[in-house]
Structure 1
């Protein structure tokens, strides 16, 4: 059976079908048994898997419907963000934000609350204006922003149907530059955390939890003109000069050394035409209230010596609050603590994840839905105040549980069967 993108999970579904049209999806649902959607396979767990049929939605033609008056584009759920971005840029439009990897598909990313970075930038799901899905009745349904179920369904984890297309908010195309800062100390970063994360349109800190420096601060600055000045200092750190990318292997990062460029080649960390990150890896990620970030980061720092041998990089980012019920940033501006682990010691990674979750429990940490975590239903209920409301919507739309699976039942998104 095929594996996910990183190779750490092998799908167990007895049947995979590739859909290239909505009718293909409807035909798959006309057959008995459980069904789940499969995209670009960037989840790190059994979240997409099923005992029935996986419907691969990445085979839809890359056909987009641009509504310039409304400032929206309607896209197939299986399309990669990087492919969409090229098409939009050619027409003078942009997405407000993108994830680190342009390789991920729109439907899967929005269904799991995946994100980019930036104090004022919500998760990618917040750009969804409408979505169309094939439900348990094998019919096509549409829900739009403001409809009663909308806030439950956008970050819906595939728990109620197969999403086939989405309508996304757009902004006019813009330009950015990327700069790295080194020498920022933990003392300065925690004491002036809000100043650190507000240093650009999007800010990421790449760290291995060493002392005294946090590591590398990656600042994406939105430009009005290509010669806009950027500061040479950030807190107690300094801007590097030239192309420096010590935290990725090979030539796979978007251009960093202060070179202005279009949004689609600067918002992601990695190039669409290259293998992103390590590839062979395990990922974990948690969202905490941004106001609690310094204390939460200190709690993880106390574990650093035990984490570092397993860790490729930690990335620290931020996201603005949203109103989507199962978004990890629901109702609160968030600080995001991400871990990319080497994959050769998976049992040790699981143990490290348990220690991290214990350290972050006082801060109400919410896990990224598509990454490795140890939360069960009780733990998810403690941190997601609208879990029961979302579950009720999914149960109403799919009373026979065609779209449920062991993962969704384990974390309380669906009732057990």
Structure 2
């Protein structure tokens, strides 16, 4: 165990998060390598009356992996990935990132649904649900979660699986970090790669209306093997981007095909009919695709999201208008198709509500200067307000910041009461409140 405080040389580096809007100063950061370290950190928090935050990757856009004047239990030093290729199982330590998980599993041609950004923590993403390129074929990360090991608020070490603490395993499949400090996770794995069909196609911004309509209709009937996303953005100044698209508005389609490469190539032909100015879709390592859209830390972030059962022309017009009027050139406006296995899985198997949703809009504001905070936050909120008539009211919490209790209720629906009862059993004092918080149900 290493304790880091404001007087230590590494303090500012250790407290920094992916979202630079979050600038909090914990009294202590406990860098944990073992379960015993986690128990020690919780003991100290109790003794000194400190609020607790848990950090695995630090990608929470709401900054929920830190606090002011409290104690951060930092799991990033808790590493280790064990792959059992015969049973197709993985055991992953609580501080691992998706890059580390994917690299280990891909040595055996295996994977499970993971985050689209490889530096994201496995634990945080999975506990919040776990959206990724493989979700339409293999479900969310939480759908592949078969066990968790955690330290609860009272210092107990528990394992939740299909034979013990089943309620805790269920709650961990999307209910967030509300129930304890997760020190290890076990996943079911699937044959994927190591070579898949993936990459990016892009066109100039003035083609956005045509390409977006074509994409919507194409993706809406796609086989489960297709993971994809439409994004309105400015072309990054990268070598692989054609010069005439760099720093200019463009529309792009990210593609990941997890089935037969020849079949995937054939399925892409309707997009290639539109002669993309950039086409770098081809056979590539799955692990490389997983890091293709990694964003650097240190930028200011404000994200939100909404579900849609359908995405009619009227909703598409609003999406295009917002994309053309982004407040920052490095902001991205995403449209993601759900469906497939993700919506076929029994609604009651996880806490997540509205698994039937077909589309997710994800306004993803990113900028550099604090003076631009208000404009960028307003861009997200204005789009959500205009978009509201076409949404279901549901939301995937990993895609949003701190938007209040109503949005938490929208994410879980009628299952929130069951989560509150489980919270009351394992964390009645709401020690683990630094998250999309579920209040423990108060007994009569």
State the TM-score bracket (shorter-chain normalisation): 0.7 to 0.9
Q: 1:384 to 1:269 in 2, by over 3 A?
A: same
User: Matches of 1:295 and 1:108 in 2, distance apart?
Assistant: 35
- CA offsets 1:229-278 (integer angstroms, 9 cap, x no match): 4466435853548xx4xxxxxxxxxxx724423322224424xxxx6357
Alignment partners' CA distance in 2, 1:191 and 1:259: 20
1:309-388 correspondence runs (5 A) = 309=328, 312-319=331-338, 320-321=342-343, 323=347, 325-327=350-352, 330-344=355-369, 345-362=372-389, 363-370=391-398, 372-373=400-401, 375-382=403-410, 384-385=412-413, 386-388=415-417
Q: Contact 1:189 / 1:196 at 8 angstroms: preserved in 2?
A: no
TM (norm. structure 2) is 0.76
| Equivalent in 283, 305, 323 of residue 286 of structure 1 | 305
Superposed CA offset, 1:283-314 (max 9, x none): 41314134346554434344445435465222
Contact kept, 8 Å, 2:17 with 2:297, in 1: the verdict is: no
Are residue 238 (structure 1) and residue 274 (structure 2) matched?
A: yes
* Residue aligning to 1:193: 216
The runs of at least 4 aligned residues of structure 1 exceeding 6 Å deviation read none
How many residues are matched? 392
Does residue 1:109 correspond to 2:132, yes or no? no
Distance in 2 (alpha carbons) for counterparts of 1:293 and 1:43 = 31
Does residue 202 of the first structure (1) align with residue 227 of the second (2)?
yes
Name stretches of at least 5 consecutive residues in structure 2 with no aligned partner: 1-11, 236-248
Instruction: Note closer, same or farther for the CA distance 1:58–1:382 as it changes in structure 2 (3 Å cut).
Output: closer
> Structure 1 residues 60, 219: CA separation in 2 closer, same or farther (over 3 Å shift)?
same
Q: Aligned in 2, Cα 1:20/1:204: closer, same or farther, shift over 3 Å?
A: same
Q: Distance in 2 between matches of 1:158 and 1:6?
A: 19
- Structure 1: how far apart are the matches of 2:420 and 2:441? 11
In structure 2, C-alpha distance between the alignment counterparts of 1:351 and 1:225, rounded to whole Å: 42
User: How far did 1:41 drift?
Assistant: 0.8
Gaps of 5+ in 1: 245-255
The residue correspondences of 1:72-83 to structure 2 (distance < 5 A) are 72-83=89-100
Query: Residues 46 and 180 from structure 1, CA distance in 2 versus in 1: closer, same or farther, beyond 3 angstroms?
Result: closer
User: For 1:291, what is the secondary structure of its paired residue?
Assistant: coil
Cα distance in 1, alignment partners of residues 128 and 306 from structure 2: 13
SS in 1 for 2:147: strand
| TM-fit CA distance, 1:61 | 3.3
Q: CA 1:11–1:298 in structure 2 vs 1: closer, same or farther (change >3 Å)?
A: same
Task: Kindly indicate whether the alpha-carbon contact (under 8 Å) linking 1:287 and 1:365 is maintained by their aligned counterparts in 2.
Answer: yes
Return the match for 2:35 from 22, 43, 48: 22
With over 3 angstroms needed to count, the CA separation of the structure-2 counterparts of 1:229 and 1:298, relative to structure 1, is: closer
Find the counterpart in structure 1 of residue 150 from structure 2: 133
Aligned-residue offset at 1:110: 0.9
Aligned partner of residue 384 in structure 1, secondary structure? helix
TM-score, scaled relative to structure 1: 0.81
- Name 2:426's counterpart in structure 1: 397
Q: 1:373 to 1:225 in 2, by over 3 A?
A: closer
Structure 1 residues 318 and 120: alpha-carbon distance in aligned structure 2, compared to 1, 3 A threshold: farther
Determine the C-alpha separation between the residues in 2 that align with 1:316 and 1:10: 30
1:36–1:158 contact (8 Å) kept in structure 2: no
Would you say 1:300 and 2:325 are equivalent positions? no
Cα deviation, residue 96, structure 1: 3.4
